[in-house]
């Protein structure tokens, strides 16, 4: 999905505005993670070992997921067409795998060319911050 440097197994992405709840963390490493063939990725703050997330393309679990990106965010991230963007949703792991949830209200959008990223707030949708993940297992 992202072209990684041949010397490394990750790409560095940058949230200029930080993440809600973590406004001071900007640089993250994004790497594929999990068992072989896993769609999950690990998003880890470069400068803060306590900040890391599991993320996944939302369409793996919600094939019909869609949203309109606001113009201001698209411009800020330098996105001209939808294909410029990689969209990821934050997974919240809980005690049991089947209790895990997906944040569909605040997707992460990454410019695949510049690696500029933002977590978007979708104000006018009915998507949940805690959408169930164990829908088909």
Partner 1 sequence: MLVLTRRANQSIMIGHEIVVTVLEVRGDQVRLGIKAPRSIDVHREEIFAQLQQANRDAVRPSPDVDDLPGIPHRADEGTR
Residues at the site binding partner 1, with contacts judged by CB under 8 A: 17, 19-22, 33-35, 37-40, 42, 44, 49-54, 60-61, 72, 75-76, 90-94, 97-98, 100, 103, 105-106, 119, 121, 123, 129-130, 133-137
Q: How far is it, in rounded angstroms, from Cα 12 to Cα 43?
A: 9
Q: How far is it, in rounded angstroms, from Cα 88 to Cα 92?
A: 13
CB closer to partner 1 out of 85 and 100 = 100
Q: Shortest approach of partner 1 to residue 5 CB, angstroms?
A: 23
H helical segments located in the chain: 71-76
Q: Shortest approach of partner 1 to residue 6 CB, angstroms?
A: 25
40: left (phi over 0), alpha (psi -120 to 50) or beta: beta
CB closer to partner 1 out of 3 and 24 = 24
Q: Shortest approach of partner 1 to residue 37 CB, angstroms?
A: 8
The string of DSSP letters for 62-102 reads: -TT---PPPHHHHHHTT--SGGGEEEEEEEE--SSGGG-EE
CB closer to partner 1 out of 2 and 25 = 25
Q: Shortest approach of partner 1 to residue 2 CB, angstroms?
A: 19
CB closer to partner 1 out of 40 and 115 = 40
CB closer to partner 1 out of 105 and 117 = 105
Q: How far is it, in rounded angstroms, from Cα 63 to Cα 65?
A: 6
Residue with tokens 């470069």: 46
């Amino acid at each position: 999905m992202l072209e990684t440097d041949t010397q490394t197994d990750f790409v560095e992405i940058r949230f200029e505005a930080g993440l809600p709840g973590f406004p001071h963390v900007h640089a993250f490493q994004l790497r594929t993670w999990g068992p072989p063939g896993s769609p999950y990725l690990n998003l880890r703050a470069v400068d803060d070992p306590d900040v890391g997330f599991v993320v996944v393309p939302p369409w793996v679990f919600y094939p019909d997921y869609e949203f309109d990106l606001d113009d201001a965010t698209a411009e800020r991230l330098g996105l001209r067409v939808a294909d410029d963007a990689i969209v990821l949703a934050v997974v919240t792991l809980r005690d049991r795998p089947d209790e895990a949830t997906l944040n569909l209200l605040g997707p992460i959008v990454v410019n695949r060319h510049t690696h500029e990223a933002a977590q978007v707030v979708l104000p006018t949708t009915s998507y949940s911050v805690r959408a169930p993940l164990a829908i088909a297992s």
